[in-house]
Amino acid sequence: MKNAFLPTSKARKVNKFLEKHEIDDSFYIYLQRNSWLARFEIGGKWISRTTKQRDKAKAVTVAIKVKAECEIEHEHGITIHTRGASLVILRSFLYAIA
């Protein structure tokens, strides 16, 4: 019997970057399928966030806003969650209620 929570081979498919646009040093946006992904460095760690934008100009604006929000969180000692951290939090929550 298949486990519904394990990804299938189709889900493991790696998305390719179609285009890269450099905003600043250590700050880029990448076109991935049909939306732009912001990638930047804060505190020696690389952070990736989706802009949920299809237009490059709008994606740059959203990326700048997202980076500023992450910088503020970092300055105030708030942990910037990555997808991996989110999964750990979710799993611990599910374990706690089980």
pLDDT of residue 14: 62
The answer to whether residues 15 and 32 touch, using CB atoms and an 8 Å cutoff, is: yes
Least Cα distance to 22 among 56, 70, 65 occurs for: 56
In a domain, 23, yes or no: yes
pLDDT of residue 59: 96
In a domain, 81, yes or no: yes
Number of domains in the chain: 1
Question: Three-state SS for 95?
Answer: helix
pLDDT of residue 1: 47
pLDDT tens for each residue of the chain, 98 residues long:
454 554 555 555 566 788 999 999 999 999 988 899 999 999 888 999 999 999 999 999 999 999 999 999 999 888 876 655 555 666 666 667 76
**What's the start-to-end Cα distance of the chain, in Å?**
22
Question: Which domain range does residue 31 map to?
Answer: 17-97
In a domain, 1, yes or no: no
The answer to whether residues 35 and 22 touch, using CB atoms and an 8 Å cutoff, is: no
